Amino acid sequence: MRNMKLKIDTDTLLNSWEPPRHLEHPYLFFSKRDILRLRHKVELILGDLNELVKKNRSKIKKLKRANLNEVKEVTLLSQMATESAFTYALTSDEEFAKFTLDLIEIIKVKDWVMPPHRPLKVDLGVANVASVLGLVYDWLWDYLDDSLKEEIKELLIKRALEPFRIISSKKLEWWTVVTHNWRSVICGCMGLAALSILGEYDKFIECLREAIKGVTVVFDRIGVDGGYDEGVGYWSFGIGEGVKFVEALKRVSKGEVNLYEHPKLKITGYFALYLYTPDNNCFNFSDCDYRPPSSWLIAKLASEYRDPYLQWLAWKLRSENPYYLIFYDESLKYKEPDLPPHRLFRDIGVVVSRSDWSDEASFLGFKTGRTVANHSHLDINSFVFYAFGKRLIKDLGYWPYTPNKGLGFFDVKERRWYYEANSTLGHNTLLVDGVGQVYGSENYGSILKAKFTDAIDLLIGDGRRAYAGMLKKFNRWIIFIKPRTLILVDEVESNKPRKFELLFHPDGKLQEDDQGLTIVNEPVALKVLFLRPSQDEPRVISYRLSRSFYESRRGPTVQENEYVSISPLLKTRRYIFVTILHAYKVRELPKIETSIIEETHDEIALRVKTEEKRVEAKIRLKDLTCNFKITR
């Protein structure tokens, strides 16, 4: 896999293809011949096409009562236009075509550049509008008169495609040299827009060349194991907008220019499959909202690569999103995964494991990686945990972005880390002397070991470099005793006495008793037992709830951060934390017995007895090995 050929020769691809001068609209994602199949597909997925039409007609009535001219975000108007244009393509109902054009009238007089991105000439907003105008041009072709066609074409060329072509080819704005989602989204959207007017734009090939380069450079950045370090949300966005372009380009070129052949694109669907969580969301590290991966992107990758496991996920995520209805392939049978329930994404420093693939599964997500990845958080050696399909230890994930640079949400030199979801305070990892990790290319974490068996998984992460020289060692051991027990052993060492403090973010109500803590997320509970520091040691257990108030792009927002922390009372050069987490159903009494049975400087032996089994673990800290004895 590491020897895979990555580079796409854009010039060779384009030189070997003669673009058609004319194609019958619609052609970008479907043709007239496909409309009947699309209607049948809607009925298969949603039950009744008429219900979709009725719902969308009701939306239009509500929107007409509102003052659409006051909608500030042009991307929201574009989304409305996409839905109404698609409904027209399905039904030929002119009410939807007229409403689409009403939206275009509003869009064309607005500044397409999103306010936080000004004074850029081309940004995500311009790209989004361009792609939607291209789809409207394609899907409403039979409805548009010649003057409207000319107007949309001129809007596309003058306000989007030509600025994009010039800025991208001459590298005039910062996004033209990055390899993250901005590049693939802008280039993918512009490429799609260019394809909508391919025979009517004299700079078509030059524009297409820039689009292909920008999309493939982001595909190149995918890990050799399919991982994507911006997280699931920006995977959905960055890879997704690229794939829309790839799909249209393949269709228009009749397969002669097929970027689906990119080897990393072929495997990256499994990043979403494995980070999908039993509660129908995702392991939401970095600036990622707590929601599932893109349904339509999963559907398209499943269809293209004839993958029954991705199709299983696509069907679970079925929706009325127009792109999902277009890309879902009803002829492909899905199969519940019988894949290994674990995956190491070494390139991005992420490991996931689950007890099985059911909705009642336990799920463990472990995060190391680079602090300088785009949209990254200071979350090295952090983890999340689920049992019986419920999240019990959470990651704060995404907090709403600020509307301008003055509030510094993306000021990685300082102010970004005042937002607790972005800083170490928002993650289940370590504070040193009350402070967290540091952003920088030299500050990162790595997976030292990931060993999986049917009964027990062993993960070890090295997080010392994330603390800017404060630590000599921070090895986090996570032992996953399946189906629902974790052993955490954190070996922390510094060159002088420091306060070491572990953080835990509960997803549920907190209760305290003589044994430790209980987190209740009905109908599941998680017992948290602190073996070190134990009740017999001087220790500090803190409960903190903070509320951050600020102006976000959504308006005034209040964001909460609740966590429990534990630390030795006194500073020390070296400390070994031992924490046991065991999940059970609330109506059942937890059966968990734990003890440290032996300890030396370099070894620690533990015994854990649960309802299912008794496990003795002998952990050799120095040579990073562990022996297990399991009895039932």
pLDDT at 58 over 60: yes
pLDDT of 67 > 90? The answer is no
Predicted confidence at residue 1, as pLDDT, reads 47
- 581 bridge partner residues: 486, 528
- pLDDT band for position 397 (cuts 50, 70, 90): very high
Q: What are the CA-CA distances from residue 416 to residues 3, 377, 402, 406, 487 (Å)?
A: 37, 9, 10, 11, 32
- CA–CA separation, 393 and 364 (whole Å): 10
| Among 310, 339, 368, residue at a domain's last position | 339
Q: Which of 241, 240, 349, 242 is nearest to 292 (CA)?
A: 240
Question: Nearest 5°: CA angle at 617, between 492 and 385?
Answer: 65
- Check whether residue 544 and residue 563 sit in a common domain: yes
Is 486 contained in some domain? yes
Q: What pLDDT was estimated at residue 427? A: 99
Q: What number of CA atoms fall less than 13 Å from residue 608's CA on the CB side?
A: 27
Q: What is the pLDDT of residues 2-50, one digit of tens each?
A: 445 556 777 788 888 999 988 999 999 999 999 999 999 999 999 999 9
Question: CA dihedral in degrees (537, 458, 398, 277; nearest 10)?
Answer: -120
Residue-by-residue DSSP string for 359-428: TT--EEEEE-EETTSTT--S-TTEEEEEETTEEEE------PPPSSGGG-TT-TTTGGGGSTTTSGGGSS
Residue 183 sits in the same domain as residue 246: no
Q: State the pTM of this model.
A: 0.96
Tokens 């030189």, residue? 15
The DSSP symbol for 224 reads: T
Provide the residue count of the chain: 632
Dihedral sign, Cα of residue 84, residue 85, residue 89, residue 94: positive
Name the residue with higher pLDDT: 589 or 355: 355
The answer on 117 and 74 residing in a single domain is yes
User: What range defines the domain where residue 435 resides?
Assistant: 345-631
Both 278 and 415 in a single domain?
Answer: no
Does residue 223 contact residue 348 with C-beta atoms inside 8 Å? yes
- The residue from 281, 309, 339 where one domain ends is 339
Nearest to 288 by CA among 371, 238, 231: 231
In a domain, 251, yes or no: yes
Determine, yes or no, domain membership for 562.
yes
The pLDDT tens digits of the residues spanning 183-226 come to 999 999 999 999 999 989 999 999 999 999 999 999 999 999 99
Residue 65: how many CB atoms within 10 A of its CB?
A: 8
When the pLDDT of each residue in the chain is averaged and rounded to a whole number, the result is 96
CA distance 499 to 505: 20
Looking at the structure of the chain, the number of domains it has is 3
> Residue 600: is its pLDDT beyond 70?
yes
Q: Do 216 and 227 fall within a single domain?
A: no
- Both 159 and 232 in one domain: the answer is no
382 and 429 inside one domain: yes
Same domain flag for 159 and 119: yes
What is the mean pLDDT of the segment spanning 302-330? 98
- Which helix (H) or strand (E) segment holds residue 561: the answer is strand 555-568
Is 3 inside a domain boundary? no
Q: What is the CATH number of the domain that holds 421?
A: 2.70.98.70
State how far the Cα of 311 lies from the Cα of 105, in Å rounded to an integer: 39
Residue range 227-233: average pLDDT?
A: 98
Local confidence band at 612 (pLDDT 50, 70, 90 cut-offs): confident
Q: What is the pLDDT of residue 604?
A: 98
So what's the pLDDT on residue 7?
64
Task: Tell whether 1 is covered by a domain.
Answer: no
User: Within this chain, do residues 105 and 62 fall inside the same structural domain, yes or no?
Assistant: yes
Does residue 47 belong to any structural domain of this protein? yes
> 506-515, 568-577, 616-625: which range is least confident on average?
506-515
In this structure, are residues 597 and 578 in contact, taking their beta carbons and an 8 Å threshold? no
Which H or E run includes 334?
none
- The pLDDT of residue 70: 77
Would you tell me how many other CB atoms lie within 10 Å of the CB of residue 486? 23
Q: Decide if 17 is inside a domain.
A: no
Q: What is the pLDDT of residue 10?
A: 78
Domain end, chosen from 339, 354, 383, is at: 339
Q: What's the pLDDT at 369?
A: 98
Residue 499 and residue 606 in one domain: yes
When pLDDT is cut at 50, 70 and 90, the band that residue 406 belongs to is confident
pLDDT digits (tens, 9 = 90+) for 124-148: 999 999 999 999 999 999 999 999 9
Four-CA torsion 278, 281, 282, 288, nearest 10 degrees:
-160
Residues 136 and 211 both lie in one domain? yes
Residues 31 and 160 in one domain: yes
Q: How many CB atoms lie within 10 A of CB 53?
A: 17
335 lies in some domain: yes
Closest by Cα among 591, 549, 567 to 499:
567
For residue 434, pLDDT over 70 is answered with: yes
Lowest mean pLDDT among 27-36, 459-468, 494-503, 583-592: 583-592
State the Cα angle at 295 between 268 and 180, rounded to 5°: 45
- Amino acid residing at 221: R
Question: What's the pLDDT band for 315 if we cut at 50, 70, 90?
Answer: very high
